[in-house]
């Protein structure tokens, strides 16, 4: 019983941090030029807290389908699949799409269900 609980905690930790890991952080870094040099900003694309579940599901379906996000981990049977937490699954897909499509505001919209944040989601 303890083994199953420990394994479950490990999977939860991996699923929470996987789309927002250190490697992801390096890829999420956007550099902007300023008079005094370059400034790096780390951004993540996450589901908005106030987005309706049905809108998140539609955006998630698009991101994982025609959008081409790598959603294997959040598909049924995947280690991060949790149909009771649409926010986390949508954030996983949205950030993956954001990384693949240029780290721009346009690549983090999803019909206004997503937003950019500088707060690391794995630390919240």
* DSSP 8-state assignment for residue 47: E
**pLDDT (tens digit per residue) in 26-48:** 456 555 555 666 667 789 999 99
- Domain spans in the chain, listed from the N-terminal domain onward: 2-123
115 in Cβ contact with 45 (< 8 Å): yes
Rg (CA), the chain: 15
Nearest to 96 by CA among 30, 23, 38: 23
**pLDDT (tens digit per residue) in 12-28:** 444 654 555 444 444 56
pTM for the predicted model, two decimal places: 0.74
Kindly state the percentage of the chain with pLDDT values over 90.
54
93 in Cβ contact with 74 (< 8 Å): yes
pLDDT at 113 over 70: yes
Gap between the Cα atoms of 106 and 69, Å rounded: 15
């Amino acid at each position: 019983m303890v083994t199953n609980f420990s394994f479950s905690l490990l999977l939860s930790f991996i699923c929470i941090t996987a789309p927002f890991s250190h490697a992801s952080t390096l890829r999420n870094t956007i550099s902007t030029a300023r008079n005094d040099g370059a400034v790096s900003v780390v951004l993540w694309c996450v589901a908005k807290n106030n987005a309706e579940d049905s809108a998140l599901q539609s955006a998630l379906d698009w991101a994982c389908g025609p959008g081409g996000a790598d959603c294997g981990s959040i598909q049924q049977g995947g280690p991060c699949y949790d149909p009771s937490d649409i926010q986390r699954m949508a954030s996983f897909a949205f950030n993956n799409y954001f990384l693949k499509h240029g780290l721009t505001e346009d690549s983090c919209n999803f019909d206004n269900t997503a937003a950019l944040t500088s707060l690391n989601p794995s630390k919240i």
